[in-house]
A and B are shown apart, each in its own frame.
Chain A
Amino acid sequence: MGSRTVAETIKEITKKHLTENNGLLLGESISAVGWVNNTVPDVSGIVELPMTDIAGAGIAVGISLVGRRPIFVIRFQDFLILNGSPLIFYAAKIKELHGRSAPVFVRAIASDGLGPVHSGVLHSVFMHFPGFRVCSPMTPKEYEAVWDDYMKHDDPFICSEHRASYQNTEELPDIVYDNADITLYAVSLCRFEAVKAASRLLEEGIKCNVVNLLWLKPFVLEQRLIKPLSQTKKGIVVDPCHEISGAARSIAYELSQATGHCVKALGILDKTKCLCAPLQNKSPDAQKIVSVVKEMLGN
């Protein structure tokens, strides 16, 4: 068991970037109420933006144009819709159009159960547009690896975080059996739920591989992904975005095309995420995953 949480890891990385690397961090109300779930250190280099979604993103991109590598904090991923235009239309296009770069690191924070415009998970949207690197780290070491990747490249970066990961200290290795019944490919928050689901199913004699998906774009169909599916011949991609046109369907399609095997997508319903139960339309949980696995196996 590790001792350092994801939140502490983010804080350490940020502190080093701001104090030793001439970096900047921008966001709205950064210093208010817990410093973004205690992920931001109290050091110089923090730019408190006024409530200027769109312009705030543009300012962050402008900083990236002059080599400061800004961290841009989006407290709720739904706000990416407002802040998306400078990211999508400028930062992500400048390399292809002009051969220059705008490496802004977007900390896009997801939640669940906070109502219609504070619970969204939008990484699928940014997978759609050219020019981004998109990933969703859920463990301390993954976050470090992701940060290293950002610093080694010069692309705008969508880091799809989830509040549910912040207190996590554990790494999440793939669970792969020689003779599993099905392979679960899990993204973001759903990775924790997939592990729980696999555990419950094992008690019923159903063996599930659990393959973790950290990188969403570029998405590399490596053997780590293909081999378990080649054995089980059935798979499910579980992701907290809307299932329609979402990451789960996109990745399921790629896996299916690559292997010829049946891969189902499991995301959230084509409904608004309301504030109160039972209409929250939450991310697929262990119970839902168990149910879909059984359905797919005909149990």
Chain B
Amino acid sequence: MRSKDLGVIKDIAKRTVKDTSLEMFRRMCLVRHFEQGVLNAGQDKFLTYQVYLSSGQEAIPAAVSLAIPNFMIFTQHRCHGTYLSYGGDPVKLRDELLGLPSGTSGGRAGSNCIQCHENGINMFGHHGLIGENVPLGVGAALGSGNPVVCFFGDGAAEEDYVFAAMGFAATHKLPVLFVCEDNNLSILTPVEVRRSWNISEIARSFGMQTEDISDDPWTIYAKIIELKNKLPAFINIRTCRQYWHVGSGVDGPPEWDRFSLVKEELESQGLEGKAESIEKNIKEQMRTLWDPEQLLKLLKR
């Protein structure tokens, strides 16, 4: 069931507008190389605590943010990718991680509870209880009537209050898209050890339109364009976390490397040069952002 090709729409990448494909890739690069800066800053002791890295899962926020740019966002703990893909300022995220007053929340909140309410972005992070953002997002949809996207993982999907909130959204036909970023792991415990049931079937039983696909960004984008007018809806997206639940450790290579797969696809479409240029540009921006000399000044060391 779980594979890099699960539910991928045949030739969807080639049928997608090239500018859209390249923008998705740009957003993936932004997350990947921002977090490379985070890793380096950790090695250099500028960051002295563990962070929640989005690397490996970048395709999801990249595609979702392009498909539904104006939704209110209720994100999970692994949220750097969501913030950056939706257009959050990388400088403010860096400063938040460094604990500086110029951070997204004045340096008080940190890696797993990023918020952003500027430049057309309306993003609420959670505070550390997995899945707590789901009932909050459902309430925000009820209170405002505006569409909401809730991101959560396969572990959070097991929280009783997540179910209850999804059921409430179904009952009241609220405009909420539930996005499960399913990396199959709760820390290191796989889904099959934790439960016998499938979250997509639960969502379907609530009467929601449901999708269960891998993290091919073109397929995600196409599916969400379909779902966004049929809310509430649920989409389970199989993905691979590159690093540990928290921190920079690894347990061998991921099951698949979506970042490389996307680059290969762009290459097959003759977009290799443009993709390389995008990545080079982002790398340079992130190198500047995380320049150790600059960090020394910012931290007044």
Stretch of A5-13, A56-64, A177-185, A269-277 at the chain-chain interface: A56-64
Query: Which residues from B are CB-within-8-Å of A176?
Result: none
Query: A65, B136: Cβ atoms under 8 Å?
Result: yes
Query: B171, A58: Cβ atoms under 8 Å?
Result: no
Given contacts A50-B168, A55-B165, A97-B105, contact A60 B132 (CB under 8 A): no
- What is the bound-complex CA distance between A89 and B109, given in angstroms? 13
CB distance from B33 to the nearest CB of A (A): 26
Given contacts A55-B164, A99-B106, contact A62 B143 (CB under 8 A): yes
Query: Which residues from A are CB-within-8-Å of B9?
Result: none
Stretch of B12-20, B54-62, B121-129, B251-259 at the chain-chain interface: B121-129
In-complex Cβ contact of B124 among A57, A65, A85 (8 A) = A65
Q: Indicate the size class of the contact surface on chain A.
A: 20 to 34
Query: B113, A97: Cβ atoms under 8 Å?
Result: yes
Q: Indicate the size class of the contact surface on chain B.
A: 35 or more
Which of B156-179 touch A at CB < 8 Å? 160-165, 167-168, 171
- Residue of A at shortest CB range from B136? A62
Query: Which residues from A are CB-within-8-Å of B134?
Result: 55, 58
- What is the bound-complex CA distance between A98 and B163, given in angstroms? 27
Query: B140, A65: Cβ atoms under 8 Å?
Result: yes
In-complex Cβ contact of A59 among B113, B138, B163 (8 A) = B138
Query: Which residues from A are CB-within-8-Å of B135?
Result: 54-59, 61-62, 86
- Residue of B at shortest CB range from A63? B143
Given contacts A50-B164, A90-B127, contact A60 B139 (CB under 8 A): yes
CB distance from B289 to the nearest CB of A (A): 23
Given contacts A90-B136, A97-B109, A100-B115, contact A62 B164 (CB under 8 A): no
- Residue of B at shortest CB range from A82? B161
Indicate if A66 sits at the interface (CB-CB under 8 A). yes
CB distance from B208 to the nearest CB of A (A): 16
CB distance from B232 to the nearest CB of A (A): 13
Indicate if A52 sits at the interface (CB-CB under 8 A). yes
Which B residues fall within an 8 A CB radius of A?
Answer: 74, 105-106, 108-109, 113, 115, 117, 124, 126-129, 132, 134-144, 146, 160-165, 167-168, 171
Which A residues fall within an 8 A CB radius of B?
Answer: 24, 47, 49-50, 52, 54-68, 70, 85-86, 89-90, 93-94, 96-100
Excluding A55-B135, A62-B136, A97-B127, 20 further A-B contacts by CB distance (< 8 Å) are: A24-B143, A47-B142, A50-B164, A52-B161, A52-B165, A54-B135, A58-B135, A59-B168, A60-B139, A64-B139, A65-B140, A67-B144, A90-B136, A93-B127, A94-B127, A97-B105, A97-B113, A98-B105, A99-B105, A99-B106
